[in-house]
Copies of this chain bind each other. A is one copy, B any other.
């Protein structure tokens, strides 16, 4: 994402002072964004510039920006400034394609950077998710994913070395889905996905270059093959403004059976 120049501040100051000052400022900025004057990626005037230009306390300016951040209109790169958010990417968990595929389909540029890849002993909870014994070896991979050069999610993957010997020797900077299928013949047949809004924890926030406490979406995925074995267990921490989840559910093709819990 080539960075457009910082937006110029054009007075006059906002009208409509009937409302709360911080909302007036919010509207002032929002209007420039939705009006196309400040396109995606534009760096906003600094908090101090806005403070002086709009005649409000910096704290009030900040409230407006935090509001806009929550709405997904702007985001911040920790300590380097506020920027106009690009559109959300659509994620459909009901499709077997991975990140690299669905992002590209939406005419955006996906990128993956492996942060770490190691083999460690699965501790209690991890072991349970993975379906292996406690203390058994487990791959642990951490990756950063970007869209148009902008970090949008950190993921942590656990996988069973017994199923994928030598996995860490391959490049992990691409589609893991395809790697597991093409190299190891792993076919994912079922996925259990959980998600809930969150604040980004410290470690993940750092990798995303945001301040801890930025709103995020926590997404977890357990992929199973036809034999019920866990192909991978995956945790994703998304910038909340980067994703819109879309699910298509079809009741007609299924009977009355309930999901069986398999551990």
Contacts and interface: CB of A to CB of B under 8 A. Distances in A.
A140 to B, nearest CB: 24
Interface hub of A189, A243, A248 (most chain B Cβ within 10 A): A248
A195 to B, nearest CB: 5
A195 B248 contact: no
A139 B198 CA distance: 35
Contacts of A192: 246-249
B248 A190 contact: yes
A251 interface: yes
A133 to B, nearest CB: 25
A143 interface: no
Contacts of A193: 245-249
Contact of A251 (B71, B188, B248, B250): B188
Nearest to A202: B23
Interface string A49-70: 0000000000000000001001
Interface stretch (A28-36, A88-96, A119-127, A160-168): A88-96
A131 interface: no
A110 B78 CA distance: 41
Contact of A259 (B88, B189, B248, B253): B248
B240 A197 contact: yes
Contact of A94 (B189, B197, B244, B249): B249
Interface in A211-260: 213, 215-217, 226, 240-241, 243-254, 259
Contacts of A129: none
Interface hub of A70, A188, A191, A259 (most chain B Cβ within 10 A): A70
B247 A215 contact: no
Given A71-B198, A217-B197, A190 B245 contact: no
